[in-house]
């Protein structure tokens, strides 16, 4: 069975593009657009990798990441953070909270695909 | 350097400016050239008739040779050095201010300008980082760019794509390009609009202090009993920024409340009778000591009262209010001397402290300080303690009350050695 990627992002056209790229690369892509219920979605799946946007409606990606790492069932799931803010302190915060990779928008499709492959191989 | 110690330097400078030979000046005033030489090198004290004779010979008023430098200018020069943590000859600051008053004023002005610019940069930096409108616009632009770039990359990748998907990505690119154009226009409009509501050139607390300094920290309109239109008064005094107006409103509300409890007509004679003793006045008017300290500092300077400065700080050391008084420099944040009663009061909340403070400069100026730390906010069980300390500063008390506390202004410019309160090395050399 193909490994599952959960994309937590609220921009429909970015969701569509990333879903297309990763599906073509052989991953099963699930999407979720809301920060508030993101943890429920993760626990229900659970995915092999999470792509997590920082700015989400309801709850920030950093808060979700903090919960992911504090929850036994999700603590080990690789997380790739997406953000439109490339500031050093956001990157540092993501690393401190346990993100496996931090990617700044606008990213390239190849960059997304390569890092997903890399993280999946490490699991 | 003490005043006495630089009179000789001034004589020498004036004489050389006028091209008078040392021997000729000595002959004119009836002393030997070697003695004048000792005077000019500050190795002999000079006063009285000889000083008058030399001044006359040099065609300058004697006080121009003997009087000290403007203490306010000297304070600001010290602050300029402290602000930049500059390693300079602080012990010769007075000498410089006397000999080069124009250059000294320039240094002070530049330092103040630098501080104002620093504050402005900080404000703009905060705006770039935290302004929700700017952050929102940028986020919108970057999001649209990301979506366009991603969809366009898929279309030009050369891989075979279903017609349905192709159509979807074309539509997405069009939608995002429209969105990008709109968000870019919004961003340009935002950046092109002058920041009329933005922060001023100076910090709000500085605005308030400048406005208060202009009226001598005494606001006659607030001395009237009954209702006072504080918003109107605030508008008249600090029109430049909302934070400053907010600070000024709080200041005026406190001032008006203090004035109501201690009306000027009764307070002035009582203060004179009590020799400005805040605790005695507190008992007489049945008001807290910190209110008396504020009230004393608000007395009109024109009525022959003692000059009095005031400082209010919170427990972090941040200065919440400063009314400067000559010779006692009050830093805005975190750079004062922890030996000041203002800070030691935090160790004994609600207990008034009276102490004499001696500063380490050559004039060894003494200041009588009254301080008290009091809780602020509504009382509540287990609430975190929030204290404000208030200190009244009276320069040159008539006679020593107790042994003076050997304090400083700021560690950076304090020459004292062996001080347990020192937090950084001194730049004095």
Each residue's pLDDT tens digit, B94-112: 777 777 878 888 888 888 7
Instruction: Reply yes or no on whether the pLDDT at B171 is more than 90.
Output: yes
Is B283 domain-assigned?
A: no
The verdict on a CB contact (< 8 Å) between A107 and B145 is no
Overall pTM > 0.95:
no
Which of A54, A55, A57, A84 would best serve as a mutation to test chain B binding (most B beta carbons within 10 A)?
A: A84
Q: Which position has the higher pLDDT, B362 or B245?
A: B245
Dump pLDDT digits (tens) for B39-95. 888 788 777 788 888 988 988 877 777 766 666 677 778 777 776 666 777 777 777
The verdict on a CB contact (< 8 Å) between B154 and A109 is yes
The CB density around residue A76, as the number of other CB atoms within 10 Å, is 10
| B135 shares a domain with B98 | no
Instruction: Reply yes or no on whether the pLDDT at B281 is more than 90.
Output: yes
**What pLDDT is attached to residue B3?**
46
| B24 shares a domain with B71 | yes
- Among B177, B192, B207, give the residue marking a domain's end: B192
Contacts of B128 in chain A (CB under 8 A): none
Rounded CA-CA distance B202/B220 in Å is: 26
| B313 shares a domain with B405 | yes
Which tokens hold the place of A79?
């997380």
| B427 shares a domain with B310 | yes
Residue A94, domain CATH: 3.40.50.2300
Instruction: Reply yes or no on whether the pLDDT at B252 is more than 50.
Output: yes
Whole-angstrom Cα Rg for chain A: 13
Instruction: Reply yes or no on whether the pLDDT at B1 is more than 50.
Output: no
The verdict on a CB contact (< 8 Å) between B150 and A18 is yes
| B312 shares a domain with B422 | yes
Question: Closest residue of A to B172, CA-based?
Answer: A13
Is B250 domain-assigned?
A: no
Q: Which domain holds residue A113?
A: 4-122
Sign of the alpha-carbon dihedral angle for B206, B207, B209, B210 = positive
| B398 shares a domain with B306 | yes
Average pLDDT (B347-368) is 83
Is B404 domain-assigned?
A: yes
Domain count for chain B: 3
Of B139, B147, B175, the CB nearest to A17: B147
Query: Given pLDDT bands bounded at 50, 70 and 90, which one contains residue B363?
Result: low
| B426 shares a domain with B308 | yes
DSSP 3-state assignment of B358?
strand
Rounded CA-CA distance B267/B417 in Å is: 43
**What pLDDT is attached to residue B69?**
60
- The nearest CA of chain B is from the CA of A24 a distance in Å of 10
Judged by a CB distance cut-off of 8 A, whether residue A51 touches chain B is no
Strands B353-358 and B405-406: parallel
| B421 shares a domain with B348 | yes
Q: Which domain holds residue B80?
A: 3-102
| B135 shares a domain with B92 | no
Contacts of A13 in chain B (CB under 8 A): 147, 150-151, 172, 175-176
Is B185 domain-assigned?
A: yes
| B424 shares a domain with B336 | yes
Question: Closest residue of B to A18, CA-based?
Answer: B150
Average pLDDT (A87-106) is 87
Is B305 domain-assigned?
A: yes
| B148 shares a domain with B68 | no
Judged by a CB distance cut-off of 8 A, whether residue A111 touches chain B is no
Judged by a CB distance cut-off of 8 A, whether residue A88 touches chain B is no
Domain count for chain A: 1
Contacts of B154 in chain A (CB under 8 A): 17, 20-21, 109
Which tokens hold the place of B297?
């500092």
Average pLDDT (A80-106) is 86
Rounded CA-CA distance A36/B74 in Å is: 60
The verdict on a CB contact (< 8 Å) between B150 and A84 is no
The CB density around residue B318, as the number of other CB atoms within 10 Å, is 12
Q: Which position has the higher pLDDT, B71 or B344?
A: B344
The strands making up B353-358's β-sheet, listed across from edge to edge, are: B319-323, B309-314, B387-395, B366-375, B353-358, B405-406
Range with lowest mean pLDDT among B157-166, B259-268, B274-283, B375-384? B375-384
The verdict on a CB contact (< 8 Å) between B138 and A84 is yes
Residue B314, domain CATH: 3.30.450
| B389 shares a domain with B308 | yes
DSSP 3-state assignment of B69?
coil
**What pLDDT is attached to residue B200?**
46
- Among B192, B212, B235, give the residue marking a domain's end: B192
Is B219 domain-assigned?
A: no
């Amino acid at each position: 069975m193909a490994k599952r990627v959960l994309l937590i992002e609220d921009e429909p056209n970015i969701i569509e593009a990333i879903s297309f790229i990763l599906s073509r690369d052989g991953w099963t892509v699930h999407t979720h657009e809301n920060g508030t219920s993101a943890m429920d979605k993760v626990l229900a799946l659970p995915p092999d990798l999470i792509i997590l946007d920082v700015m989400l409606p309801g709850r920030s990606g950093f808060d979700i990441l903090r919960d992911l790492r504090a929850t036994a069932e999700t603590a080990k799931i690789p997380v790739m953070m997406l953000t439109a803010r490339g500031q050093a302190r956001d990157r540092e915060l993501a690393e401190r909270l346990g993100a496996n990779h931090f990617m700044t928008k606008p990213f390239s499709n190849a960059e997304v695909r390569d890092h997903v492959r890399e993280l999946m191989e490490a699991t | 350097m003490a005043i006495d110690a630089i009179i000789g330097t001034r004589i020498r400078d004036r004489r050389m400016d006028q091209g008078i030979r040392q021997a000729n000046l000595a002959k004119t005033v009836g002393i030997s050239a070697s003695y004048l030489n000792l005077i000019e090198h500050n190795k002999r004290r000079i006063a009285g008739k000889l000083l008058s004779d030399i001044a006359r010979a040099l065609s300058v008023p004697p006080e121009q040779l003997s009087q000290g430098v403007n203490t306010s200018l000297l304070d600001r020069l010290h602050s300029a050095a402290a602000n930049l943590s500059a390693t300079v000859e602080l012990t010769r600051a007075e000498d410089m201010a006397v000999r080069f008053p124009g250059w000294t004023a320039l240094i002070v002005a530049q330092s103040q300008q630098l501080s104002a610019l620093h504050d402005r940069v900080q404000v703009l930096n905060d705006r770039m980082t935290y302004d929700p409108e700017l952050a929102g616009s940028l986020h919108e632009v970057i999001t649209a760019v990301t979506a366009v770039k991603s969809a366009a990359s898929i279309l030009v990748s050369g891989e075979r794509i279903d017609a349905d998907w192709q159509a979807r990505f074309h539509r997405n690119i069009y939608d995002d390009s429209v969105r990008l154009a709109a968000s870019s226009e919004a961003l340009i409009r935002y950046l092109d609009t002058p920041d009329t509501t933005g922060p001023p050139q100076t910090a709000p607390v500085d605005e308030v202090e400048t406005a208060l300094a202009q009226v001598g920290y005494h606001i006659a309109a607030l001395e009237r009993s009954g209702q006072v239109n504080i918003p109107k008064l605030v508008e008249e005094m600090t029109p430049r920024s909302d934070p400053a107006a907010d600070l000024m409103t709080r200041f005026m509300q406190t001032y008006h409340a203090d004035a109501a409890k201690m009306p000027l007509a009764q307070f002035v004679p009582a203060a004179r009778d009590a020799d400005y003793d805040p605790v005695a006045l507190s008992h007489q008017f049945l008001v807290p000591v910190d209110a008396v300290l504020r009230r004393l500092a608000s007395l009109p300077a024109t009525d022959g009262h003692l000059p009095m400065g005031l400082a209010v700080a919170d427990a972090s050391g941040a200065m919440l209010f400063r009314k400067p008084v000559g010779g006692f420099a009050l830093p805005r944040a975190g750079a004062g001397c922890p030996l000041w009663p203002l800070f030691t009061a935090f160790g004994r909340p609600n207990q008034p402290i009276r102490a004499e403070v001696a500063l380490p400069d050559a004039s060894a100026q003494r200041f009588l300080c009254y301080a008290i730390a009091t809780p602020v906010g509504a009382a509540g069980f287990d609430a975190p303690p929030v204290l404000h300390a208030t200190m009244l500063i009276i320069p040159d008390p008539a006679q020593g009350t107790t042994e003076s506390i050997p304090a400083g202004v700021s560690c950076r410019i304090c020459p004292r050695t062996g001080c347990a309160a020192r937090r950084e090395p001194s730049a004095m050399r």
